[in-house]
Every structure is written in structure tokens, then in C-alpha cells.
Structure 1
Amino acid sequence: MAKKKNIEVILAPGLFTNISTPRPYVVVVVDVFRATTSICAALDYGVKAIIPVKRIRHARFLARLGYIVAAERGGKKVKFAHLDNSATSFFHKIFKGKEIVYSTTNGTRAIKMASGASDIAIGSFVNLDALAEWLYKKDKNVVILCAGWKNRVNMEDSLFAGALSSILIEKYGFSTDCDAAKMSIDQWKLAKDDLLGYIDKSAHRNRLRHLINDRLLKYTFTLNSSKVVPVLRKYKIVADKS
């Protein structure tokens, strides 16, 4: 009988160096507010690729070369950027077929941190089921890396980790001996019947309240509105076609 695939949850980037899952594994990067949700939206609306960059100076350099840049720090759009990092910024077709440089406070840092993994996927509530099925087909152990907020744990990313872990265990036969995964699953069970009510307690939700309108909030916590699975290929994030 085949050994069950394992799930490990990393609740904040600073814990990633202590990962215990043996290679090869898939890393799922999640930054619910707002990077990974926005990446799913961008690819759903026809963006060809997202180019994640960690440092603002790199994003500024690429803007000078003519790239479209979406960038924020501390939740606010940086001056030279064309777009902020909200999903709603991509809710039209003018970027179809374009490559967009993307730099954020937490999400792109986590993506770069995971770059040594054999596979890297982008997770959000909008592509939850599609991602879970994709991971099942990959048939590898899974590490869910929560981007958090400035290297601290946040509520919304761990909530997503619990949702994804629950599906992988209950539907696809994965297992976990990771306390962080088990805590996240308990959080998901507590919150799943009223996601918006639960997330209203989130520090990051309140930190970004003036930047996240009702439309964006509803989109962020609408399950399975997208079937796209963004994956990192070399230095670009694209929609997986397999």
C-alpha cells in the first residue's frame, strides 16, 4: 500500500528554515490579503505571466525598462508603480497577454524564499478546490507556506492553510503529523460557516480596512470562483496547463 502524502504548515516565513518535510515536495505559497489572491485574479483575466520581485529597486528598474509594475509596501501602492496589488485592479481585459512585474511586502518575499522547491504553487480561497486537485495529481508531500505579515503569523493565511489541509486529508487521503496543520484545520472548522464574520477580527483586515472595499473582500473569500493554478516556472508565475 502506498504511503500517504504528508502536509506541513509553516505559519510564518521565519519558520521555513525549520521545515521537516523531506524533498521533493510542493510548496504552496499563500498571502490572502492580497498577493496570492491577486495573482489568481490576474491570470484568470488573461495576464500571461507575473514576474515576482523581492526588492523595490528591482521593480523600479524593470518599470524603467517598460514593464507594467504592480507594487506596494505597507499596503500602499509605491509611487512609480502602475498598479497596487489588489485583485480588483486586474478585473478587466486590458492586461490580457501582458507580463506584469509584481512586488509586495509579504507575498513575493515568501515566493522567493520557496524558490528551491521542486514545485511552487500559489494558493487562495478563490482557487481552493482546483489547487487541491492539482496537488493530488502531483502526488508529492505538500508544504503550505503562509506569508504572514512582516514575518509574523496572521489569521487569514493560517485559515487558508486549514481549508486546504482539510480538503487534502478528507478528499484525497493525505495525512499530517504537523501541529500547525492541525491547529489550522481547527481554525477552519470554527470559521468556515461565516468566513467574513470571522475574518473581521483579523489584524491585517483592520490594518488594510481603508484599502479593501466590500467588493474586494467578497471576492477574496468567495470559494472556488477560479480554476486557475498559478505555478512558478523559472522566474515567472504562469497558469499551469497540465
Structure 2
Amino acid sequence: MSQKPTLYTSLSPALLHLYDVKDTVVVVIDVFRATSTIAAALYNGAQYIIPVDAVPRAVEISREVGGIAAGERDGKLAEGLSHGNSPLEYTKDFIENKILVLTTTNGTRLLHMALANGADDIVTGSFPNLSSICNYLVKQGKNVILACAGWKDRFNIEDTLFAGAVIDKVKEHFTIHCDSSLMAHNLYTQNQSDLLKFAENLTHYHRLVNRFGYIDDIEFCLTADVADVLPLYKEEKLIRG
């Protein structure tokens, strides 16, 4: 019997260096909101997305490619960017056939860290594209790292919750001996019946909802398969896989 590939969960960007990302599928997870926004934009017909780690770079590249400079810092629209990091902004009539240049506090930074560590198979995942991610992981048959973006290198629950949802769907296909994966899976299975209710306790929920009123964003970000597309990183772009 052939050996199953392994699956690990990295709970924070600060822990990513502990994992070998070579010949591995790295799933970048930033549920509130970068990877939900990426799924929404590609699902609604964006040509592609260029994820960048700095605001001035996003502005510069968007000018070069005639794209939309978008993103946030600390949950709000960053100076110099024309659009934010709300998945609900990127409707079909707005984003179709356009190029999105996106920079966010945690998610796009983590993607660049994975690249710097030698990752060559990167996808981005959140609840809106849960099934596409799971299907891809099973089909690739490679080792997997579920890389949670957290918040400024700190642990957060919503990204871990999504890692648990992935594990719940793909666990038969992988060898999983990893306490962070076990915790993620337990967290998800205990709360899957009402993720939105559970999310009301979360730090990032309070940051986004109480300060900025983004309750509709949160609901979208926690809803499975509403933008079921595979964002695949190729040649410095996220494309529909």
C-alpha cells in the first residue's frame, strides 16, 4: 500500500519557517478577509489578482498594469488604494475582466513568506471556496501545509477553523500527526452547525464588526462554496485554477 502524503497546520506566519514547504501544496488562509476577497473576485470574473506585500508597491503595479489598487491595513482602506478588502465589493459588474492588485495586513504577506521559503505550489483558501481547495489537495496527492495568516503573527481562530473544515473533508487521504491539525479539526467539528454565532466571540470579528460594521462580510467569509473557485499562484499572479 502506498504511503499517504502528510498534512500539517501552521497556526501563524511566525511558525511557517518550521515546516518544509518544498514539493508541498501550501494553502494560504486569511478568512477575514483576504482569501475570501480573492475567491470572490476570481469567481466574479477578475482576469487575475496580483498579491503584493506593501501598499506603495500595490499602487505602483496597478498603474503599470492598468489594474485596481486594493486592500487594507489594520482592517481599513489604506491610503493610496482605491478599493478595500471586502469580498462584497468585487461583484461581477465591477471586477469582470479587470486586474486586481491586492495588499493586506496578513494574507498577502504570508503568501510572500511562503514563496521566500521555497513554496512552488500555492493556493488560497477560505470557506467560500472550500470544496475547490479540498478537491485540489486530494487530486495533487502531495504533502500539504495549511498556512494560517493569523493577525500580525498572532494566532487567530477563524483561519484555524477553516483549516479544520479542510481537514474534515480530506482526512482520509492524508497522514495527519499534528496537534495543531487535531485542534483545528476539533474546533471546526464542535462549531460547524453555527459558525457565525461562534464567530461573535472572536477578536477579529470585534475589530471588523464593532469598529467598521462589516457583518455582511463576515457572513460571506464563513459561508461554504459561495465563490467556489481555485485561486492558483502562477508567475506572480493568482489565476483561476
Per the normalisation by structure 2, the TM-score is 0.94
Stretches of 4+ moved more than 6 A in 1?
A: none
Q: Is the CA contact 1:72–1:103 (under 8 Å) kept in the aligned structure 2?
A: yes
- Counterpart Cα distance in 2 of 1:22 and 1:80: 34
Compute the displacement of 1:189 (Å): 1.1
- Equivalent residue for 2:31? 32
- Counterpart Cα distance in 2 of 1:238 and 1:144: 19
Compute the displacement of 1:208 (Å): 1.1
Is 1:53 aligned with 2:55?
A: no
* Aligned pairs for 1:1-242 within 5 A: 1-19=1-19, 21=20, 23-65=22-64, 66-115=66-115, 116-170=118-172, 173-209=173-209, 210-240=211-241
SS at match of 1:238: strand
C-alpha change, 1:29 and 1:98, in structure 2 (3 Å) is same
Compute the displacement of 1:73 (Å): 0.5
Cα deviation 1:36-68 (Å, max 9, x = unaligned): 000000000000111011112212322444431
After alignment, is 209-218 or 82-91 more displaced? 209-218
- Counterpart Cα distance in 2 of 1:22 and 1:211: 36
- Counterpart Cα distance in 2 of 1:106 and 1:229: 20
Compute the displacement of 1:24 (Å): 1.0
- Counterpart Cα distance in 2 of 1:22 and 1:119: 9
- Counterpart Cα distance in 2 of 1:189 and 1:101: 35
Compute the displacement of 1:217 (Å): 2.1
- Counterpart Cα distance in 2 of 1:119 and 1:36: 16
Per the normalisation by structure 1, the TM-score is 0.94
Compute the displacement of 1:130 (Å): 1.6
Number of aligned residue pairs: give it.
237
Compute the displacement of 1:212 (Å): 4.8
SS at match of 2:93: coil
After alignment, is 32-41 or 59-68 more displaced? 59-68
- Counterpart Cα distance in 1 of 2:221 and 2:146: 18
- Counterpart Cα distance in 2 of 1:133 and 1:92: 25
C-alpha change, 1:212 and 1:166, in structure 2 (3 Å) is farther
Structure in which a larger fraction of residues adopt helix: 2
- Counterpart Cα distance in 2 of 1:230 and 1:200: 28
Compute the displacement of 1:175 (Å): 2.1
- Counterpart Cα distance in 1 of 2:71 and 2:170: 32
SS at match of 1:114: helix
Unpaired segments of 5 or more residues in structure 2? none
Unpaired segments of 5 or more residues in structure 1? none
Cα deviation 1:59-85 (Å, max 9, x = unaligned): 232244443111210011012211101
